[in-house]
Amino acid sequence: MNRRAKAVPVLMYHHISTSPGMITVSPEHFAAQMAFLARGGYTTIGSTQLAAYLAGEPLREKSIMLTFDDGYLDNWVHAHPVLQAHGLTALCFLVTSWIGEGPVRAHAHAGAMLPPLLNHRDGEIAIENGEPDRTILRWSEIEAMRNAGTFEFHSHTHSHVRWDRVSADVDEKSERLASDLVAARAVLETRLGTASNHLCWPQGYPDDDYRRLARQLGFRHLYTCEAGSNYPKHDDGAARSITRLEVRDRPASWLASRLWIHTRPLVSRTYLAIKR
C-alpha cells in the first residue's frame, strides 16, 4: 500500500533561462532538478488534486506541485520540453493583458534556432514599453503546452498591479482589484474555455481586503510567496492560502535537501521557525 503524503510542497519558479538574473534558474540546473524528481519517485500534481488534498483526501507520498509565475517565454523554450521528457506537470499563472498573438516559437528540443530570452529586468522594461511579446508567452504557445499536458493555466490577474500601492482609499483599491480579477477571468474563459478558482497574487502579496474580495469573487486557492508546505484542513468555506518554496539556481542536491525538510511537517515547521 502506498504511504500517504503528510505535507505537499509547492515549488515556485519564474524564469528558466540562459539569461542570468533575478528569480532565474538555469536550464542546466532545472533539467537536473526535474531528473532528480523523476528518478526519485516524486509525483507532480495539478490544481484539482491539490484542492482535494487540502480538503482531506489522501495523496501518495512524494506528491509535489510545480508552479511558474507570470508566463514567461522561457517557460515554453526551456521548461516545457524538460517536463514533457520526464512526464511531469506544472501550473502557470498568467497575466492576461501581457499575452500576445503569433506563431509558436522554437523550444529547446525542437532542433531549431531559439528565440532570444531577456533577463528579468530587461523583460520588465519591455513590458513597460508595450513590448511584452519579447518576454511573455503567446496564446499559441499556451495552447501547445496545454495540449501536451505539461502545463495548466490559472490567473495572476489581468494587469499584475499591486493596487494597495496605487490606491490609498480602501473602496477604490477594492473596486480596481475586482475589475482586474474579473477581466483576467473573462480572458481565460474566452481563450481557454475555463477559469479556475486558483489565483496567484502579484508579488505574492495579499491583505485582508484582497482575501475578502477574492473569496467574494469565488476564488478558493490563493497562492502566495510565503514559505512553507501545505497540509489538509477542515473545509470551513474560507479561501485557502497556498504557501510555496522559491527554487534557487542550485544543483538538484539543493532541491533534494529542501524536499526532505518540507515533506516532514515537524521538521518543516521547526526549520521555518528558526529561519524567521
d(CA 189, CA 145): 17
Whichever domain contains 198, its CATH number is 3.20.20.370
Looking at the predicted structure, is the pLDDT value of residue 236 above 80?
no
Is residue 127 domain-resident?
yes
Q: For residue 4, tell me if it sits in a domain.
A: no
Distance CA 68, CA 154 (A): 10
Mean pLDDT across 246-258? 97
Please check whether residue 3 lies inside any domain of the structure. no
Residue 233: is its pLDDT beyond 90?
A: no
Say which amino acid occupies 183: A
Asked if pLDDT for residue 61 goes beyond 50, the answer is yes
Q: What is the mean pLDDT of residues 17-36?
A: 96
Q: Are 144 and 79 in contact (CB under 8 A)?
A: no
The reply to whether 223 falls in a domain is yes
Rounded Cα distance between 169 and 65, Å, is 36
Q: What is the span of the domain harbouring residue 39?
A: 10-275
| Structural domains counted in the chain | 1
d(CA 246, CA 52): 23
Is residue 35 assigned to a domain? yes
Find out whether 221 and 50 touch, Cβ atoms under 8 Å.
yes
Does the residue 5 lie in any domain?
no
**pTM for the full model?**
0.96
Kindly tell me if the per-residue pLDDT of 1 is higher than 70: no
Scan for cell 507520498, then name that residue: 61
> pLDDT of 33-43, one tens digit each?
999 999 999 99
Q: Does residue 136 form part of some domain? A: yes
The mean per-residue pLDDT over the stretch 48-68 comes to 96
As given in the structure block, the three cell numbers for residue 182 are 474579473
Residue 73 lies in a domain: yes
